[in-house]
Amino acid sequence: MPKLEWRGMMRKGGHPMKPPGHRDLRPGFEKTTHNLCPSCGGSDLTVYFRSGSSQRVGAYCYSCGLVGFFARNDFFELGRIAPDLIPDQTISKLSGG
């Protein structure tokens, strides 16, 4: 039986197609919850890590909306997102949770 060869076809708009069975090798993320927020002092700060690593990547506070990232173990605030704009927060409010 002849071996099939992938030729790197292009989609509309010039975006390359991936070979069949190809998986993205994007890093996964894990999180810890109920950390103390440096801004509001509440325990609703979620800190995100690279999967299988202790390298902190970013954080979000569900109480005050603080959003930030980590670089060289220092935390840098990017800004705030209103908690009512986060989809799972809106759903839990609508369901009475």
Chain segment 56-81, per-residue pLDDT in tens: 999 999 999 999 999 988 999 999 98
The domain limits of the chain are 27-94
Chain segment 33-61, per-residue pLDDT in tens: 999 999 999 999 999 998 888 889 999 99
pLDDT band at 95 (very low <50, low <70, confident <90, very high): very low
- Put simply, whether the predicted model's pTM sits higher than 0.85 gets the answer no
| Angstrom distance (rounded) from CA 78 to CA 96 | 31
Query: What are the distances in angstroms from CA 28 to CA 25, 47, 57, 72?
Result: 9, 14, 11, 20
